[in-house]
Amino acid sequence: IEEGGEKLRSIICCIMGHVDSGKTKLLDCIRGTNVQEGEAGGITQQIGATYFPAKNIRERTRELKADAKLKVPGLLVIDTPGHESFTNLRSRGSSLCDLAILVVDITHGLQPQTIESLNLLRMRNTEFIIALNKVDRLYGWKTCKNAPIVKAMKQQNKDVINECNLRLKKIINEFQEQGLNTELYYKNKDMGETFSIVPTSAISGEGVPDLLLWLVQWAQKTMVEKLTYVDEVQCTVLEVKVIEGHGTTIDVVLVNGELHEGDQIVVCGLQGPIVTTIRALLTPHPMKELRVKGTYLHHKEIKAAQGIKITAQGLEHAIAGTSLHVVGPDDDIEAMKESAMEDMESVLSRIDKSGEGVYVQTSTLGSLEALLEFLKTPAVNIPVSGIGIGPVHKKDIMKAGVMLEKKKEYATILAFDVKVTTEARELADEMGVKIFCADIIYQLFNQFQVYIENIKE
Ligand code: GDP
Ligand code: MG
């Protein structure tokens, strides 16, 4: 799609928010209705992402009568199930997502992971819109399937409108307490300074057109440069997974550029840079055939923005959250290896030089960074002596166990959003290494705090 000579890539958006606020359901809602109406419109389920083409967005927003000049080819929404709060955003350099949707449950207001997501978005300067979800839960709500929110509100009786306003006001206050100005999007005169709220229902679709339109228009208005398609590959590893028949694979989001089968790539690895060759570029089958489990479409080449599974040799120690680099004909491999490892080095530099501290284990480099940053803040101040990424194995217990002789209370693993293998758990019990697991950073902190206080007594 060309306009004025510039060629834009798709917008990349992630969904954040507290567990059960309706993130997955909201995506289902955008996807589902169209499928039901027989207008799949080319929506494709990608690896860790869903692609909504412009045509589809135009359909869904038609009622808003916006002459939605869509210049982008579509919207790629990142939805990595399982671990939701950190993995999707990179902390340094160009962040993976152009925009985010922060989902807040209107019946609960701001919850711990809402605040955590909010802080992350602010830290990374990512623009976002707030979906105030589950409006249909307001007592007496009249369903107006997939209607723009203003139209839906007009159908509601006074009590519903009053309750909605009360809750909205309360939530705006809660955001204010976090130092954030927010306002209903259609009343927001100061976009940029004040963040917009769209009431939505992921069940009946009210407000979803508004949400889609806002995302596209805001992106096209404020980030044309960022969205301009360039040939230079910009690609982030989302997950490292073992897949039967394919060995260890990496799921990536290709933000810009083009990948080809046979490309030589450099990826950041736990034990140093990984240089390998793309064996296959895979995506799931289109929606209809999603039921065909375990089979993938093979591609010779893929253009941004897309979610892709890459198979290649030697990916076992690849780190989620880091950049993937493609070696071009004129590139110096040694220099590329170095830049691939830069992501890791800034993290390693945060480890306590004294050699005394807890062991920290997380799912991705991004979450590791966030956790280390948090532990370093003066109010928390927990030293870290070792780090790991991925599931907790016996070797991690051994490493954490070194502290038993130095400072017993630090013989502890703070495990964020990762599994602990049975053998590791057994060994930990045997050795006396403590493991704290959580999906929310400050819960880890609380658990550790309680433990320390008990020791002191
Ligand atoms: P996630 O953890 O944020 O992905 O939340 P889910 O999408 O899994 O939703 C959690 C629960 O809330 C599910 O039972 C959904 O059916 C329900 N839910 C999500 N959105 C809505 C909504 O807009 N209205 C109502 N009534 N229920 C919702
Ligand atoms: Mg979910």
pLDDT band at residue 65 using 50, 70 and 90 as cut-offs: confident
Mean pLDDT of 387-401: 92
pLDDT at 306: 87
Q: Whose CA is nearest to atom 24 of ligand 1?
A: 134
pLDDT tens column, 259-286: 999 999 999 998 899 999 999 999 876 5
Parallel, antiparallel, or unpaired: how do β-strands 182-184 and 195-199 relate? parallel
233 Cβ contact partners less than 8 Å away, ≥ 6 residues apart? 254, 256, 257, 258, 259, 324, 325, 326
Euclidean distance between CA atoms 215 and 127, whole angstroms? 10
pLDDT band at residue 3 using 50, 70 and 90 as cut-offs: very low
- Ligand 1 atom closest to the Cα of residue 133 is 23
303 Cβ contact partners less than 8 Å away, ≥ 6 residues apart? 254, 257, 258
pLDDT at 38: 43
Q: Ligand 1 pocket check: which of 15, 20, 198 to mutate, most ligand atoms within 8 Å of Cβ?
A: 20
Q: Is the pLDDT of residue 433 over 90?
A: yes
Distance from Cα 80 to the centre of ligand 2, integer Å: 8
When comparing pLDDT for 96 and 174, which is higher? 174
- Ligand 1 atom closest to the Cα of residue 17 is 3
- Per-position b or e across 242-262, b if 16+ CB within 10 A of its CB: eeeebebbbbbbbbbbbbebe
Q: If we measure between CA atoms, which residue out of 1, 46, 31, 39 comes closest to residue 299? A: 46
pLDDT at 83: 42
- Ligand 1 atom closest to the Cα of residue 28 is 7
Structure tokens at 149: 């929110």
Distance from Cα 229 to the centre of ligand 1, integer Å: 35
pLDDT at 359: 95
pLDDT at 42: 57
The residue type at 276: T
Distance from Cα 127 to the centre of ligand 1, integer Å: 24
Q: Is the pLDDT of residue 416 over 50?
A: yes
Distance from Cα 88 to the centre of ligand 2, integer Å: 13
Cis peptide before 305 (omega within 30 of 0): yes
pLDDT tens column, 216-240: 999 998 999 989 999 899 998 888 8
pLDDT tens column, 307-358: 899 999 999 888 877 889 999 999 999 999 999 998 788 777 777 778 899 9
Q: In which residue are the tokens 């490892």 written?
A: 341
Q: If you average pLDDT over every residue of the chain, what do you get?
A: 86
ipTM confidence: 0.99
pLDDT at 66: 67
Q: Whose CA is nearest to atom 6 of ligand 1?
A: 22
Q: Is the pLDDT of residue 81 over 50?
A: no
Cα separation values, 412 from 105, 249, 453, Å: 35, 31, 14
What is the CB < 6 Å shell around ligand 1? 17, 19-25, 133-134, 136-137, 201-203
Distance from Cα 111 to the centre of ligand 2, integer Å: 15
Distance from Cα 345 to the centre of ligand 2, integer Å: 32
399 Cβ contact partners less than 8 Å away, ≥ 6 residues apart? 359, 386, 388
pLDDT at 18: 86
Q: If we measure between CA atoms, which residue out of 416, 421, 419, 420 comes closest to residue 439? A: 416
Mean pLDDT of 3-25: 82
Mean pLDDT of 154-173: 97
Please tell me the number of the ligand nearest to residue 22's CA: 1
Q: Is the pLDDT of residue 289 over 80?
A: no
Task: Tell me what percent of the residues of the chain surpass a pLDDT of 90.
Answer: 50
Q: Is the pLDDT of residue 445 over 50?
A: yes
When comparing pLDDT for 160 and 123, which is higher? 160
331 Cβ contact partners less than 8 Å away, ≥ 6 residues apart? none
pTM for the model stands at 0.79
pLDDT at 87: 43
pLDDT at 58: 86
Of 31-40, 231-240, 303-312, 398-407, where does mean pLDDT reach its minimum? 31-40
Q: Is the pLDDT of residue 35 over 80?
A: no
pLDDT at 37: 44
Mean pLDDT of 129-139: 97
When comparing pLDDT for 322 and 196, which is higher? 196
Mean pLDDT of 375-394: 88
Mean pLDDT of 77-95: 50
State which of 2-6, 244-248, 432-436 shows the largest mean pLDDT. 432-436
Bridge partners of residue 76, in order along the sequence: 12, 51
The residue type at 287: M
Q: H-type helices in 48-204, by residue range?
A: 54-61, 112-123, 149-154, 158-177
Q: Ligand 1 pocket check: which of 15, 25, 50 to mutate, most ligand atoms within 8 Å of Cβ?
A: 25
